[in-house]
């Protein structure tokens, strides 16, 4: 083995050992970061319809463009953990729900399959007083074939998002979720 090859191996081993030592010094993940007090103390919410990317679900999956908002609102209302404000100015938190495609809007000709990035719900939680984003949650909608299966995966993802929000807010999810 010549000196150059030996030198390169030495440099490579040194770099590898240095990286391993640096990683060993990172603090171990022990617990989740704190939930903002505004989320835990909220009593009144306003649910905003952030819409959906155009062409996300082409025929026969188009249905009601407000379906996600309507179902999300109804599920939170049925849980009974919050009062609902008719105007965002009267709320502690503003929740913005959006149905989105990870690769952006489509022209309506694409049907999502198992190998594609999945469409998802995105829930942004704002502090009404400061207008700062306090938290963002996403929930993917599993790929499905046929309207009935699509409806099922859509409902499952939306219910999971409701549960995630209730858990974050310190509210026990109801048995119906």
Tell me the per-residue pLDDT of 105-160, one tens digit each, with 9 for 90 and over. Answer: 544 444 545 556 788 999 999 999 999 999 999 999 888 888 788 889 999 999 99
Put residue 131 in one of left, alpha, beta given phi > 0 → left and psi -120 to 50 → alpha.
left
Q: Which domains does the chain have, with CATH numbers?
A: 37-168 (3.30.160)
How many secondary structure helices (H) and strands (E) does the chain include?
A: 4, 5
**Residue 5 in this model has a pLDDT that exceeds 70:** no
C-alpha to C-alpha distance for 108 and 57, rounded to whole angstroms: 7
Find, among 120, 148, 155, the residue nearest to 136 by Cα. 120
Judge whether 68 and 162 are in contact, CB under 8 Å.
no
Q: Return phi, psi of residue 23, to 5°.
A: -65, -35
* pLDDT in the model for residue 109: 45
Integer angstrom CA distances of residue 159 from 28, 36, 108, 151, 175: 32, 23, 26, 12, 12
Q: Is the pTM of this model over 0.85?
A: no
pLDDT tens figures, 33-71: 899 999 999 999 999 999 887 666 544 445 677 889 999
């Amino acid at each position: 083995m010549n000196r150059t090859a030996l030198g390169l191996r030495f440099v490579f081993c040194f770099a590898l050992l240095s990286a391993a030592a640096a990683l060993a010094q990172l603090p171990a993940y022990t617990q989740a970061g704190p939930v903002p007090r505004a989320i835990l103390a909220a009593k009144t919410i306003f649910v905003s319809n952030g819409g959906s990317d155009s062409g996300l679900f082409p025929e026969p999956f188009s249905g009601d463009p407000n379906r996600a908002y309507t179902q999300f609102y109804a599920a939170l209302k049925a849980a009974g953990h919050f009062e609902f404000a008719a105007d965002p100015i009267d709320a502690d938190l503003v929740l913005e729900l959006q149905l989105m495609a990870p690769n952006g809007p489509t022209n309506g000709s694409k049907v999502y399959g198992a190998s594609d990035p999945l469409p998802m719900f995105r829930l942004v939680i704002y502090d009404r007083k400061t207008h700062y984003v306090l938290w963002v949650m996403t929930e993917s909608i599993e790929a499905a074939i046929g309207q009935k299966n699509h409806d099922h995966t859509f409902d499952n993802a939306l219910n999971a998002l409701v549960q995630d929000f209730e858990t974050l807010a310190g509210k026990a999810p109801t048995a119906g979720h």
